[in-house]
Structure 1
Amino acid sequence: MDLKRFFVNLLSNCMSALTGVGLTFFLTPYLVETLGKEAYGFYPLSTNFIMYAGILTTALNSMSSRFITISLEKKDLKQVNIYFNSVLFGNFLVSLFFILTGGLFCYFAQNILDIPLNIQLDVKILFAFVFLGLVINVSSSIFSVSAFALNRFDRLALINIVMNVIRLLIIVLLFYFFTPRIYFLGIASFCSAVYFMYANYKLTKRLMPEIAFSIGDFSWVAISTLVGAGVWNSVLALSNVINTQLDLIIANRFFGASDMGVLSLTKMVPMALQMLLGIIVPLFLPELLRAYANNDLIKMKTNLDFSFKAIFIVLLLPIAVFFVFGKEFFQLWLPHENSEQLYLLSVITLVPFIIHGTIETIHHVFVITNKLRIASFWGVFISILSVTTVILLCKYSKLGLYAIPTGALLTGMFSHLTFTPIYAARCLNEDKLYFYLRIAKGLGSFLLLILVAYLWKYLSLIAIDDWVGLILSLSILTVILLTVSSFVLFDKSVLNRLFLQLKGKFNI
């Protein structure tokens, strides 16, 4: 693995993720105070519909990066153009479908969801702008493949940062000059989608000038190949949406708009972590694909192991900090809400991440080896089991709102500890304990981080009475946990290489 390129991509994408998380962090308290948690809850719900739509587009788009990257590796530029243009014009056709279904949903929204009468029109306008942004994103999604194929995720990160700044500026201007409305968030999302399309188009022309936009390169054979390979990714996307994106709808239908608003406030931390994963996990795929394309399985497994360790630091270190200091975070962030309820709901939601995060890139194995069928069937089974469990708990248990994350926790842990590690090992022709050993090491390291974090909290060296105290305390703790993680996870050779590269970079 090219450590220099990896860390450039990692740092730039972390900055990109931080701008997105920061936007949510600073705006949410104001929006809840200004609009009310009932109205605010419809914004994260509206963004969930983008995930629902992604089920359809995944079949065509998910494998385009794989086939284009491999074609580039083989210097087959003709095939690169065929795949690129086939996906581009195929996405235009899919966008027409979303225009129709989005319009129907907006018109009948009050019959589908529990929406308070006083904000029905505002919610409909919100959904309309979100769907328009979705159409733009779907139509232009192929423009992101150039950065992926050439391993230039830092360029995508810069685009994401500018997009988040544009979204923030539009929201601030609209809320400052006009009476606050929930659909202002939809307008901001639509405008940022327009910028994202334009910026990615320019990036494609700059990074891959050999790409020629031509309807003549559209190929139904290429579409068939991509959809045939990607249909199982769509099934996996369906299972992921059912597992993670239906909770607000279920809360809305069983407990009403108010409790849906409460649950939406707990989505901030899990969504921030998902955002980090969505940006960082793909960083490893180009190297893994190249190793697989060259039939170098040893290098592929080495890169896979490195990815587990890197993602552990990115994902599980923040979770350890949150588990120990989460209640204090909610007390400061949303002082007028029930911090204990928000903290407990968040912790239950995050527990499956502990197992999931130790081997997150394991799902790349199914994509790289193109063995998605069985994994997809399992994903559908688990998602149906999860929704069924959640609904039964909502209907017959006394857990109330806690039933939703509890049901997801039970089925998520079951899946992460049974099928996923066993089948991934089989795809790599490894012993079935291959990934279990890595999970065990990850869990042991996570428990060590929890222990260190609790010890730091017990010492109470810094009072946590305000944001300054919390930020200072967590900053020192993060450095401590980062140091512990580095020495526990990485061997001396990797640490020495990293130190030498940093030494040369900064002329130490």
Structure 2
Amino acid sequence: MNKKQTNINIVVNIIAFAVQIMIGFYTAPVLIRALGTEAYGFIGLANDFVTYISIITAIFNSVVARFISFEMARNNVERGEQYFNSILAADFCLAGLFSLAAAIVVPNIDRIINVPKDLILDVKITFLITFLAYILGVITSIFTTAAYVKNRLDIQGSRNIIQSLVRFLFIVIFLNLFQIRIYWVSAAALIAAVVVAVLNINITRKIMPEIHVNIHKASWSMILELVKSGGWMAFTSLSAILMRGLDLLVANLMLGSYDMGLLSVARTFPNYFSSIINTIAPIFSPVFITLFAVGKMEELRESTKASIKSMALILFVPLSGFLVFSGDFYTLWLGGYSAGQIRMITALSTVTVIQSFFDASTSTMAQMSVVTNKLKAPVFVSFFCGLLNVVTVFLLLKFTGLGVYAIVTSSTVIMVLRYVIFNSFYCAHVLGLQKREFIPGAIKTWITVPVLIMGMLIFKYLIRINSWSHLILAAVICGGLGYIGEFFMLEGCKGAAKIKFYMQKLKSRKRLQKE
């Protein structure tokens, strides 16, 4: 693996993730205090509606970066350029289609979902702005592939940081200078989307100058080829919606806008964990694709194993910390909520986060279906899991008193089984290896989780957390010790050797600088 570039990509994207958390940390309590739990839930629901229509764009855009990367790795620049312009033409057509959909959905949104009368106008404006931001993203989505193709996902991370900061800046301006409305969050996101669109175009020109925008090079045969592969990924997107994308809509229609609001609050930070997993895991893909394209299968196998440990090392400590300290965090963060509401939000968040441990450790293995362009089996498995989840949720809501807990429990149980059983075996299968090739490495990461949680629980009982300073102190100490412990648990004796090697390297650099 190109370890240096991969590590840079990871670090920059983690910083981008941290910035996103800061935004959510600031905006959620302000909006909840000013507008109430019900209103806050409609921000997430508007984004979910955009996710529903993203199934169509996934048909075209989900695999184009893989095709361009594959051709560029083989120095077939002309074909890479044709793929680029083919998707650009397709995206313009899709943008027109989505504009028509928005014109129909937005004016009638109160007839589609349950909206309190006093929020109807605000909700319509929120949905309209959210659709506009998405349409802009569709038109310029092809320009996001350059960072992937050139394995410069640090640029993508930097771009995400800029987008988050612009969004945060305008959220602060809108919420402090104008009357607080839920659509200000969407308006800030639209402005940030405009800035990022311009950045993406400039980045593409700079790091991938051999690719030029020329709509005349668009090829319908290539679009159909991408549809053939991307159709399976779109099916996967549909499966993801059936699995987790309908939770707020189901809560709104079957339980009411209040429970939807509580669920929206509870999934705020679990969604961030899912987001960072989905951001970091593809960082390994450019290297995987290059190794696969040139037939270096042994290096690809070792790179995959290394990525499993890397994902666990990066994410297991914060995930464990969230499980242990989430109750204390929500008590401080949502000061206006009752003890019962805090317990409910904590429980919903905890159940949702559990699946992230297994998602993180198998997410790079899941990328192998795209690398090898063998997408059918994952699609059918995902779709089956999605259908099973929908059926299970409706049965639980109808025949049990679980209420909103049914929504998160069903998806967590099903997804954990999918990650553990399918991702590991299928990755080995498409690479022509023994089915159990990656299981030992994954199990080794999972064994560290109880150790991390137990250590943090012991520390929690030693310090009483009743202020932000206490919580930050606990996070710093548990985080530091957790990362040290996780490193040695995953690396074993090699960990000490690696530390010694890097210390010697650092000393030699200092010695050279002095000379």
| TM-score after normalising by structure 1 | 0.96
In the TM superposition, residue 354 of structure 1 has moved relative to its aligned partner by 2.2
Distance change (3 Å), C-alpha of 1:506 and 1:333: farther
Which residue is equivalent to 1:375?
378
CA distance in 2 between partners of 1:505 and 1:256 (Å): 62
Tell me if 1:226 matches 2:229. Answer: no
Which residue is equivalent to 2:278?
278
Which residue is equivalent to 1:430?
433
CA distance in 1 between partners of 2:386 and 2:87 (Å): 28
Question: For the Cα contact (< 8 Å) 1:46–1:127, is it kept in 2?
Answer: yes
In the TM superposition, residue 432 of structure 1 has moved relative to its aligned partner by 2.2
Farther-moved stretch of structure 1 (314-323 vs 389-398): 314-323
CA distance in 2 between partners of 1:276 and 1:176 (Å): 29
Farther-moved stretch of structure 1 (128-137 vs 225-234): 225-234
CA distance in 2 between partners of 1:236 and 1:504 (Å): 50
SS at match of 1:57: helix
Question: For the Cα contact (< 8 Å) 2:16–2:157, is it kept in 1?
Answer: yes
In the TM superposition, residue 149 of structure 1 has moved relative to its aligned partner by 0.9
Distance change (3 Å), C-alpha of 1:503 and 1:233: farther
Which residue is equivalent to 1:467?
468
Question: For the Cα contact (< 8 Å) 1:359–1:438, is it kept in 2?
Answer: no
In the TM superposition, residue 425 of structure 1 has moved relative to its aligned partner by 2.2
For 1:292, the aligned partner's letter is: F
In the TM superposition, residue 50 of structure 1 has moved relative to its aligned partner by 2.8
Counting only pairs closer than 5 Å after superposition, residues 204-219 of structure 1 correspond to structure 2 as 204-219=204-219
Tell me if 1:168 matches 2:164. Answer: no
Tell me if 1:355 matches 2:326. Answer: no
Deviation digits for residues 417-450 of structure 1 (CA, Å, limit 9, x no counterpart): 3333322222122222223323321210112211
CA distance in 2 between partners of 1:425 and 1:6 (Å): 22
Distance change (3 Å), C-alpha of 1:506 and 1:469: farther
In the TM superposition, residue 286 of structure 1 has moved relative to its aligned partner by 0.5
Deviation digits for residues 172-225 of structure 1 (CA, Å, limit 9, x no counterpart): 222222211111112111111111111100100111111211111100111111
CA distance in 1 between partners of 2:477 and 2:398 (Å): 45
SS at match of 1:474: helix
In the TM superposition, residue 233 of structure 1 has moved relative to its aligned partner by 0.9
Which residue is equivalent to 2:147?
147
CA distance in 1 between partners of 2:510 and 2:8 (Å): 14
Tell me if 1:268 matches 2:268. Answer: yes
Overall identity of the aligned pairs, in %: 30
Which residue is equivalent to 2:443?
440
Distance change (3 Å), C-alpha of 1:160 and 1:505: farther
For 1:208, the aligned partner's letter is: M
CA distance in 2 between partners of 1:213 and 1:505 (Å): 45
CA distance in 2 between partners of 1:429 and 1:353 (Å): 27
Question: For the Cα contact (< 8 Å) 1:61–1:142, is it kept in 2?
Answer: yes
Return 5+ residue gaps in structure 2 as ranges: none
For 2:177, the aligned partner's letter is: F
Question: For the Cα contact (< 8 Å) 2:308–2:442, is it kept in 1?
Answer: no
Question: For the Cα contact (< 8 Å) 1:365–1:427, is it kept in 2?
Answer: yes
Question: For the Cα contact (< 8 Å) 1:91–1:138, is it kept in 2?
Answer: yes
Deviation digits for residues 459-507 of structure 1 (CA, Å, limit 9, x no counterpart): 33xx422111101111111111111111121334655565566667788
Number of aligned residue pairs = 506
Which residue is equivalent to 1:183?
183
Deviation digits for residues 151-183 of structure 1 (CA, Å, limit 9, x no counterpart): 111212222111111112212222222211111
Question: For the Cα contact (< 8 Å) 2:305–2:438, is it kept in 1?
Answer: no
In the TM superposition, residue 413 of structure 1 has moved relative to its aligned partner by 2.5
Farther-moved stretch of structure 1 (167-176 vs 187-196): 167-176
Question: For the Cα contact (< 8 Å) 2:362–2:419, is it kept in 1?
Answer: no
Distance change (3 Å), C-alpha of 1:503 and 1:23: farther
In the TM superposition, residue 5 of structure 1 has moved relative to its aligned partner by 1.3
CA distance in 1 between partners of 2:505 and 2:131 (Å): 45
Which residue is equivalent to 2:478?
477
Counting only pairs closer than 5 Å after superposition, residues 80-479 of structure 1 correspond to structure 2 as 80-337=80-337, 338-460=341-463, 463-479=464-480
In the TM superposition, residue 375 of structure 1 has moved relative to its aligned partner by 1.4
CA distance in 1 between partners of 2:369 and 2:189 (Å): 32
Question: For the Cα contact (< 8 Å) 2:59–2:226, is it kept in 1?
Answer: yes
In the TM superposition, residue 325 of structure 1 has moved relative to its aligned partner by 1.0
Return 5+ residue gaps in structure 1 as ranges: none
CA distance in 2 between partners of 1:358 and 1:79 (Å): 35
CA distance in 2 between partners of 1:15 and 1:440 (Å): 28
Distance change (3 Å), C-alpha of 1:194 and 1:500: farther
CA distance in 1 between partners of 2:91 and 2:288 (Å): 27
For 2:398, the aligned partner's letter is: K
Deviation digits for residues 76-135 of structure 1 (CA, Å, limit 9, x no counterpart): 111111011111111111111111112211121111110000010110110000000000
Distance change (3 Å), C-alpha of 1:161 and 1:472: same
CA distance in 2 between partners of 1:112 and 1:310 (Å): 44
Distance change (3 Å), C-alpha of 1:390 and 1:77: same
For 2:482, the aligned partner's letter is: L
Farther-moved stretch of structure 1 (341-350 vs 492-501): 492-501
CA distance in 2 between partners of 1:110 and 1:18 (Å): 35
| TM-score after normalising by structure 2 | 0.95
RMSD: 1.7
For 1:39, the aligned partner's letter is: A
Distance change (3 Å), C-alpha of 1:506 and 1:370: farther
Farther-moved stretch of structure 1 (51-60 vs 128-137): 51-60
Question: For the Cα contact (< 8 Å) 2:99–2:135, is it kept in 1?
Answer: yes
